[in-house]
Structure 1
Amino acid sequence: MDRYERLSALLDLLGQSGKVDVEDLARDLDVSAATIRRDLDHLAEQQLLTRTRGGAVANNVAYDLPLRYKTARHASEKERIGKAAAALVSRGAVIGLNGGTTTTEIGRALAIRPDFAQSDEPGVTVVTNALNIANELAVRPHVKIVVTGGVARPQSFELSGPLATRILDEITLDIIFLGVDAVDPLRGAYAHHEGEASINRLMTQRARQVVCIADSSKLGKHAFAQICPTSAISILITDSEASAETVAAFEAEGVDVRIV
């Protein structure tokens, strides 16, 4: 387990219980107590938790992990989902990517599609409000990048706010690949942050097809702000750890579930 994986696991444990103990963490994560103390001090400096004598307690922002920590969570599942989603894109398509680790994997999969690099014209147009995705794809000559504008959130690198809506009001997307913090068969897709949910909602409204991408840990859950109802989602791409019961519930709502 590398450092970011350990920090992610530590924050997960903190989110579940609200408080953690150094000795318990050292045992659960199989590292020394000194290592755990350094990790807790590092996270406290970033205001992701509050140090206590012998441990730490959660801050109210602990549930909304910065992207650099989310990257280590369910990494192999996200990579598979990213490749499966990228395979749905036809040459010449205009697609939307909101922020998140799984949508970042889609961008990376699109960047290496050989059929998109067969002419001088861009093989695909990507509209995104995620600075990290735009940064990775801007150097690819066969990918046309359109960035929405807006105010950046350091946790997710997503642009949001009124400035982000101007471009979206004037364009149409063939597909939006919607990264979510939670998705429930009855309640729909959710994000932790209301500003991001608002921009993501507008992106779904501008798209002909909404493809929700979510690893199995996000299924059957809900977060603070709704992005769209389940009826707006045509395809859900998730991993093989999704329970048969949950998959059946989505299918009952008319969602085409793809397991990878």
Structure 2
Amino acid sequence: MSRDARWNTLLELLVQRGRLDVEEAAAELEVSAATIRRDFDRLADQQMLVRTRGGAVVHGVSYELPLRYKTARHASEKQRIAEAVAGLIAPGEAVGLTGGTTTTEVARALAVRDDLTSGSPALTVVTNALNIANELAVRPQFKIVVTGGVARPQSYELIGPLTDGVLGQITLDVAVLGVVALDVAHGAAAHDEAEAAVNRLLCERAERVVVAADSSKLGQRAFARICGTESVDTLVTDAAAGTDTVRRFEEAGLRVIVV
């Protein structure tokens, strides 16, 4: 197991359990206790966990994995969802993309669509996610608009009043949201309130809103509300979503696409 894969596993175990002992983690990952101690020390240096005597605990009350450690979770599902979402976007449209692993996959799916290789522009992409802008900026057929703002290291997203100022001046055909949670009663949500505020403004500036969320996000709640389900037009999720869950979203007025 590579170091990055080991760190990813350690952080996910911490999220699930809240605390990990060195010996326990070494046994589960089949590495030496000395290796785990070094891993814990390095992750503590990056403020991603808190070292304790003989182990580690999660960093803070509302713990969130940085984007780079979430890319492997539900990877195949996210790629299928991304392809379906990309298929909902027409050439020449203006599309807003929030940050996140699934929306990053949407950007990649758009980049390889055969009917988006030419035009002036073939697509206008507005994003507050630095990693998405970086990936798409090399595509000359795309017009890339980056919102500006203060970078949030967990998600590479730009937030704050500078971001709001740009979004307040534009109109979008479609906003594609990556969410931490989507619940019929409580709507779409994120961990961070500033991130949620930017996503909410993207929704308000768009003609239609698409939520790209794997099934693990459905029926969940998170701290910061983005919008209610009445603001969402389409949900694209994976086949692990239960039929009752899908039915509840459809009854709430959403078009649900299961891939």
Please state which band the TM-score falls in when normalised by the shorter chain: over 0.9
The 5-angstrom pairing of residues 122-201 of structure 1 reads 122-201=121-200
SS, match of residue 37 in structure 1: helix
Letter of the structure 1 residue corresponding to residue 139 of structure 2:
R
Aligned position for 1:207: 206
Higher mean displacement: 132-141 or 76-85: 76-85
The 5-angstrom pairing of residues 69-80 of structure 1 reads 69-80=69-80
SS, match of residue 64 in structure 1: coil
Whole-angstrom CA distance in 2 between matches of 1:189 and 1:226:
6
Letter of the structure 1 residue corresponding to residue 220 of structure 2:
K
Structure 1 residue 103: Cα displacement: 0.6
Whole-angstrom CA distance in 1 between matches of 2:83 and 2:97:
14
Aligned position for 2:41: 41
The 5-angstrom pairing of residues 1-260 of structure 1 reads 2-60=2-60, 63-119=63-119, 121-260=120-259
Whole-angstrom CA distance in 1 between matches of 2:154 and 2:111:
24
Q: Percent identity?
A: 61
Whole-angstrom CA distance in 1 between matches of 2:15 and 2:86:
32
SS, match of residue 169 in structure 2: coil
> Alpha carbons of 1:258 and 1:27: their partners in 2 closer, same or farther (altered >3 Å)?
farther
Whole-angstrom CA distance in 1 between matches of 2:93 and 2:57:
47
> Alpha carbons of 1:177 and 1:2: their partners in 2 closer, same or farther (altered >3 Å)?
farther
Letter of the structure 1 residue corresponding to residue 33 of structure 2:
A
Letter of the structure 1 residue corresponding to residue 167 of structure 2:
L
SS, match of residue 183 in structure 1: strand
Unaligned segments of structure 2, at least 5 residues:
none
> Alpha carbons of 1:79 and 1:34: their partners in 2 closer, same or farther (altered >3 Å)?
farther
Structure 1 residue 41: Cα displacement: 1.7
The list of structure 1 runs, each at least 4 consecutive aligned residues, that deviate by more than 6 angstroms after superposition, is none
Structure 1 residue 163: Cα displacement: 0.7
Structure 1 residue 2: Cα displacement: 4.2
Q: Across the two proteins, how many residue pairs are aligned to each other?
A: 259
1:4–1:72 contact (8 Å) kept in structure 2: no
Whole-angstrom CA distance in 1 between matches of 2:62 and 2:152:
15
TM-score (normalised: structure 2): 0.95
